[in-house]
């Protein structure tokens, strides 16, 4: 049962395409797992479309005729239904298979190697170019992170499993948002462990010294 969702504002901005890219990834991946939010985004998109395209002042533009003529000269796109795109659909770890939400499948292709951290934690970085680094983090049963706070904003999506952090208990699909206001100490006691996807929205801070505290699971944190 998913208890933690993006805010209505986040869903709305996501539908509008105005949410930050990294934040959009998290919202999108959450929606892959959450029917409720999927429906809300769909309804919001519909509303926005009506809103945006219901323009009072319709201006013709002199280039439109040329544009129309040009477009209708273009060939129809070939149907490519027969060619499935090869994607990493699941992560194999610890003898288990974790299916990934659609949004994360292409990103998973860019995932680096898993490395072991202290406290029964495993981590694999995902290169987001100049957007910073996201991480897949796997907490074995009993895996934990010392209590800490955040310098930036951190988003975590539970892909599979359960963990708690002294504030709440989280389950698969939960969308967790952390900022400087909160202090927490994640810990997984689920027998199966827990796989999460974690991302920070401030890449500049992330590479600087202090911001190593941003990602609660980052190996930098344990140095």
Partner 1 sequence: MLVGIPLEQSNSAVKPKECAGEMSEYIVAVAEKRCKKSFARVFGYFAPRLRSYALKQMGNEALAMELVQDTMSNVWQKAHLFNAEKGSPSTWIFTIARNIRFDMLRKLQNRKEDVCSDDLWPVLCEQTADANETSLDEQITLEQIGFLFEALPVKQKAVIEAIYIDGKSQQEVADELEIPLGTVKSRTRLALQRLKGMLNSHD
- Find the shortest distance in angstroms from Cβ 27 to partner 1: 8
- Give SS3 for 38: helix
Least distance in angstroms from the C-beta of 61 to partner 1? 6
CB of 89 to partner 1, least distance (A): 9
Residue 79 contacts partner 1 per CB under 8 A: yes
Is the separation of the CB atoms in 162 and 188 below 8 Å? yes
113 binds partner 1 (CB under 8 A): no
| Nearest one of 159, 170, 163, 157 to 186, comparing CA atoms | 163
Residue 156 CB, shortest distance to partner 1, in Å, is 18
Residue 86 binds partner 1, judged by CB under 8 A: no
Q: How many positions of this chain bind partner 1 (CB under 8 A)?
A: 53
Name the token pair of 185: 């100490």
To the nearest 10 degrees (0 to 180), the angle between helices 21-33 and 35-53 is 130
- Interaction between residue 178 and partner 1 (CB under 8 A): no
Residue whose C-alpha is closest to residue 44's, from 81, 66, 13: 13
Interface residue with partner 1, options 1, 9, 55, 92 (CB under 8 A)? 55
Reference 11, options 33, 35, 27; nearest CA is 27
Verify binding: residue 109, partner 1, rule CB under 8 A. no
DSSP state of 216: T
Could you give the string, one character per residue 1-40, with x where binding to partner 1 holds by CB under 8 A and - elsewhere? -------------x-xx---xx-xx--x---x--------
95 touches partner 1 (CB under 8 A)? no
Q: Which residues contact 165 (CB under 8 A, 6 or more apart)?
A: 184, 185, 186, 187
**Shortest distance (Å) from residue 145 CB to partner 1:** 26
Q: Is 207 in the site for partner 1 (CB under 8 A)?
A: no
Q: Give CA–CA dist 207/129, Å, rounded.
A: 13
d(CA 176, CA 1): 14
Q: In angstroms, what is the minimal distance from the CB of 141 to partner 1?
A: 28
Across the strands, what pairs with 140?
none
Judged by the rule CB under 8 A, the positions of this chain that interact with partner 1 are 14, 16-17, 21-22, 24-25, 28, 32, 42, 45-46, 48-50, 52-55, 57-61, 63-72, 74-77, 79-81, 83-85, 102-103, 106-107, 127-131
């Amino acid at each position: 049962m998913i208890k933690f969702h993006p805010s209505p504002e986040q869903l709305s901005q996501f539908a509008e395409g105005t949410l930050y890219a990294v934040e959009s990834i998290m919202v999108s991946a959450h929606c892959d797992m959450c029917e409720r939010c999927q429906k809300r985004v769909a309804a919001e998109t519909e509303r926005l479309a009506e809103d945006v395209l219901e323009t009072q002042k319709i201006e013709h533009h002199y280039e439109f005729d040329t544009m129309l003529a040009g477009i209708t000269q273009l060939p129809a796109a070939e149907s490519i239904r027969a060619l499935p795109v090869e994607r990493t659909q699941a992560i194999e770890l610890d003898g288990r298979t974790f299916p990934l939400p659609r949004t994360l499948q292409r990103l998973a292709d860019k995932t680096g190697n898993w490395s072991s951290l202290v406290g029964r934690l495993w981590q694999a970085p995902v290169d987001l170019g100049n957007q910073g680094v996201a991480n897949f983090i796997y907490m074995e049963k009993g895996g934990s992170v010392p209590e800490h706070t955040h310098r930036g904003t951190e988003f975590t999506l539970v892909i599979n499993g359960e963990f708690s952090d002294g504030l709440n208990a989280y389950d698969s699909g939960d969308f967790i948002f952390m900022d400087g206001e909160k202090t927490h100490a994640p810990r997984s006691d689920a027998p199966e462990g827990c796989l999460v996807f974690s991302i920070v929205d401030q890449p500049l801070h992330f590479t600087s010294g202090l911001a190593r505290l941003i990602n609660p699971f980052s190996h930098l944190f344990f140095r």
